[in-house]
Protein backbone atom coordinates (compact mmCIF):
# COMPACT_ATOMS: atom_id res chain seq x y z
CA UNK A 1 0.00 0.00 0.00
CA UNK A 2 2.84 2.39 0.83
CA UNK A 3 4.32 1.87 -2.65
CA UNK A 4 1.05 2.85 -4.34
CA UNK A 5 0.85 6.07 -2.31
CA UNK A 6 4.41 7.03 -3.24
CA UNK A 7 3.76 6.20 -6.89
CA UNK A 8 0.53 8.22 -6.88
CA UNK A 9 2.34 11.18 -5.30
CA UNK A 10 5.10 11.03 -7.94
CA UNK A 11 2.54 10.94 -10.75
CA UNK A 12 0.65 13.86 -9.22
CA UNK A 13 3.84 15.91 -8.93
CA UNK A 14 5.20 15.18 -12.42
CA UNK A 15 1.99 15.18 -14.42
CA UNK A 16 1.65 18.99 -14.62
CA UNK A 17 5.14 19.30 -16.14
CA UNK A 18 4.19 16.80 -18.85
CA UNK A 19 1.21 18.83 -20.03
CA UNK A 20 1.52 20.77 -23.27
CA UNK A 21 2.38 24.42 -22.88
CA UNK A 22 -0.53 26.84 -22.97
CA UNK A 23 1.60 29.30 -24.93
CA UNK A 24 1.11 29.04 -28.65
CA UNK A 25 4.26 28.54 -30.69
CA UNK A 26 5.40 31.71 -32.39
CA UNK A 27 4.99 31.66 -36.14
CA UNK A 28 8.18 32.24 -38.12
CA UNK A 29 9.03 35.85 -38.89
CA UNK A 30 7.97 36.85 -42.38
CA UNK A 31 9.53 39.91 -43.92
CA UNK A 32 7.45 41.76 -46.46
CA UNK A 33 7.92 41.23 -50.18
CA UNK A 34 8.90 44.90 -50.45
CA UNK A 35 11.82 44.36 -48.04
CA UNK A 36 13.00 41.32 -49.98
CA UNK A 37 12.73 43.22 -53.27
CA UNK A 38 14.61 46.24 -51.92
CA UNK A 39 17.35 43.99 -50.48
CA UNK A 40 17.76 42.22 -53.80
CA UNK A 41 17.84 45.50 -55.77
CA UNK A 42 20.30 47.24 -53.47
CA UNK A 43 22.54 44.40 -52.29
CA UNK A 44 22.16 41.58 -54.80
CA UNK A 45 25.09 42.83 -56.89
CA UNK A 46 27.33 43.72 -53.92
CA UNK A 47 30.91 43.18 -55.12
CA UNK A 48 32.94 43.62 -51.93
CA UNK A 49 32.55 41.26 -48.94
CA UNK A 50 30.75 42.56 -45.87
CA UNK A 51 30.43 40.78 -42.54
CA UNK A 52 27.29 41.46 -40.56
CA UNK A 53 27.51 40.56 -36.90
CA UNK A 54 24.26 40.40 -34.97
CA UNK A 55 24.28 40.39 -31.19
CA UNK A 56 21.07 39.26 -29.55
CA UNK A 57 19.74 38.76 -26.07
CA UNK A 58 19.58 40.65 -22.85
CA UNK A 59 16.66 41.42 -20.62
CA UNK A 60 13.97 43.30 -22.51
CA UNK A 61 15.22 42.56 -26.02
CA UNK A 62 12.64 43.59 -28.61
CA UNK A 63 12.42 42.53 -32.24
CA UNK A 64 15.45 40.25 -32.06
CA UNK A 65 13.75 37.58 -34.17
CA UNK A 66 12.91 40.16 -36.84
CA UNK A 67 16.48 41.46 -36.92
CA UNK A 68 17.79 37.90 -37.20
CA UNK A 69 15.39 37.16 -40.07
CA UNK A 70 16.54 40.32 -41.86
CA UNK A 71 20.27 39.57 -41.67
CA UNK A 72 19.60 35.96 -42.71
CA UNK A 73 17.73 37.32 -45.74
CA UNK A 74 20.69 39.53 -46.62
CA UNK A 75 23.05 36.54 -46.52
CA UNK A 76 20.74 34.74 -48.96
CA UNK A 77 20.48 37.78 -51.27
CA UNK A 78 24.23 38.29 -51.67
CA UNK A 79 27.03 35.74 -51.58
CA UNK A 80 29.30 38.58 -50.41
CA UNK A 81 27.40 39.06 -47.16
CA UNK A 82 28.33 36.75 -44.31
CA UNK A 83 26.58 36.71 -40.94
CA UNK A 84 27.97 35.92 -37.52
CA UNK A 85 25.86 35.62 -34.39
CA UNK A 86 26.73 36.54 -30.82
CA UNK A 87 24.86 36.57 -27.54
CA UNK A 88 24.85 39.63 -25.28
CA UNK A 89 26.17 37.52 -22.41
CA UNK A 90 29.33 36.66 -24.40
CA UNK A 91 30.18 40.27 -25.28
CA UNK A 92 32.36 42.13 -22.83
CA UNK A 93 31.96 45.48 -24.60
CA UNK A 94 28.19 45.92 -24.37
CA UNK A 95 28.49 48.46 -21.55
CA UNK A 96 30.95 50.57 -23.55
CA UNK A 97 28.53 50.46 -26.50
CA UNK A 98 25.89 51.93 -24.22
CA UNK A 99 23.32 49.20 -24.74
CA UNK A 100 22.17 46.56 -22.25
CA UNK A 101 20.42 44.34 -24.79
CA UNK A 102 20.21 43.39 -28.43
CA UNK A 103 19.77 43.40 -31.20
CA UNK A 104 22.93 45.19 -32.25
CA UNK A 105 23.82 44.80 -35.92
CA UNK A 106 27.41 45.59 -36.89
CA UNK A 107 28.60 45.95 -40.47
CA UNK A 108 32.28 45.51 -41.33
CA UNK A 109 33.93 45.52 -44.72
CA UNK A 110 36.41 47.42 -46.83
CA UNK A 111 35.50 50.78 -45.29
CA UNK A 112 37.40 51.71 -42.12
CA UNK A 113 35.59 51.29 -38.84
CA UNK A 114 32.42 49.52 -37.84
CA UNK A 115 28.90 50.70 -38.60
CA UNK A 116 26.48 49.77 -35.83
CA UNK A 117 22.73 49.68 -35.89
CA UNK A 118 20.89 49.36 -32.61
CA UNK A 119 17.52 47.65 -32.86
CA UNK A 120 15.57 46.50 -35.88
CA UNK A 121 15.48 48.68 -39.01
CA UNK A 122 11.90 48.83 -40.12
CA UNK A 123 9.73 50.93 -42.41
CA UNK A 124 11.62 54.10 -43.40
CA UNK A 125 14.81 52.88 -41.72
CA UNK A 126 15.26 49.93 -44.09
CA UNK A 127 16.76 51.81 -47.06
CA UNK A 128 19.29 53.77 -44.94
CA UNK A 129 20.24 50.50 -43.22
CA UNK A 130 20.95 48.89 -46.60
CA UNK A 131 22.91 52.02 -47.61
CA UNK A 132 24.99 51.49 -44.46
CA UNK A 133 25.88 48.01 -45.72
CA UNK A 134 26.90 49.52 -49.06
CA UNK A 135 29.05 52.08 -47.21
CA UNK A 136 30.67 49.30 -45.15
CA UNK A 137 31.57 47.57 -48.41
CA UNK A 138 33.60 50.62 -49.41
CA UNK A 139 31.11 52.16 -51.80
CA UNK A 140 31.25 55.93 -51.30
CA UNK A 141 28.17 57.47 -49.76
CA UNK A 142 26.30 60.09 -51.78
CA UNK A 143 26.91 63.08 -49.51
CA UNK A 144 26.66 66.78 -50.27
CA UNK A 145 30.06 68.37 -51.04
CA UNK A 146 30.03 70.44 -47.83
CA UNK A 147 29.65 67.28 -45.71
CA UNK A 148 32.40 65.47 -47.65
CA UNK A 149 34.75 68.43 -47.12
CA UNK A 150 33.92 68.59 -43.41
CA UNK A 151 34.70 64.90 -42.90
CA UNK A 152 37.90 65.04 -44.95
CA UNK A 153 39.20 67.86 -42.74
CA UNK A 154 38.68 65.97 -39.48
CA UNK A 155 42.00 65.07 -37.92
CA UNK A 156 40.68 62.71 -35.27
CA UNK A 157 38.50 59.66 -34.92
CA UNK A 158 34.90 60.43 -34.10
CA UNK A 159 31.84 58.49 -33.04
CA UNK A 160 28.85 59.63 -35.06
CA UNK A 161 25.43 58.77 -33.71
CA UNK A 162 22.30 59.22 -35.75
CA UNK A 163 18.96 59.03 -34.00
CA UNK A 164 15.73 58.44 -35.85
CA UNK A 165 12.17 58.89 -34.75
CA UNK A 166 9.25 56.61 -35.57
CA UNK A 167 7.11 57.41 -38.60
How high is the pLDDT of residue 135? 92
Return the half-sphere exposure (C-beta side, CA atoms, 13 A cut-off) of residue 125.
14
List the single range of 43-47, 58-62, 106-110 with lowest mean pLDDT. Answer: 58-62
- Torsion of the alpha carbons at 74, 102, 58 and 84, rounded to the nearest 10: 40
Pick the closest to residue 133 from 75, 87, 93 (CA basis): 75
How high is the pLDDT of residue 8? 56
What are the distances in angstroms from CA 140 to CA 28, 77, 136? 36, 21, 9
pLDDT(73) > 70: yes
Cis? peptide before 103, omega within 30° of 0? yes
Asked whether the beta carbons of 133 and 50 are under 8 A apart, the reply is yes
Q: How confident is the model over 53-57, as a mean pLDDT?
A: 92
Count the Cβ atoms, other than its own, within 10 Å of residue 77: 20
DSSP states of 92-106: S-HHHHT-SS--EEE
The residues, any chain, with a CB within 8 Å of residue 165's CB and separated by 6 or more, are: none
Asked whether the beta carbons of 47 and 137 are under 8 A apart, the reply is yes
How high is the pLDDT of residue 13? 56
In this prediction, residue 76 has a pLDDT band, given cuts at 50, 70 and 90, of very high
Residue 24 burial class via C-beta count within 10 angstroms: exposed 0-12, middle 13-18, buried 19 and up? exposed
Q: How confident is the model over 45-60, as a mean pLDDT?
A: 92
In whole angstroms, give the CA distance from residue 24 to residue 86: 27
The structural domains of the chain, ordered by start, are: 28-152 (3.40.30.10)
How high is the pLDDT of residue 147? 86
Q: Tell which wins on pLDDT, 162 or 69.
A: 69
How high is the pLDDT of residue 103? 92
Pick the closest to residue 36 from 77, 64, 79 (CA basis): 77
pLDDT(110) > 80: yes
Q: Tell which wins on pLDDT, 147 or 12.
A: 147
Q: How confident is the model over 5-19, as a mean pLDDT?
A: 55
In whole angstroms, give the CA distance from residue 74 to residue 12: 50
How high is the pLDDT of residue 11? 52
In this prediction, residue 79 has a pLDDT band, given cuts at 50, 70 and 90, of very high
How high is the pLDDT of residue 105? 94
Amino acid sequence: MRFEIILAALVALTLPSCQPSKEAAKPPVRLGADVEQLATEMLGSLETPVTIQITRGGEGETQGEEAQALVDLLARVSPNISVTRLDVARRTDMESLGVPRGPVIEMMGKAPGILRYYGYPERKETRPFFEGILSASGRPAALPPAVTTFFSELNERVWIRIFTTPD
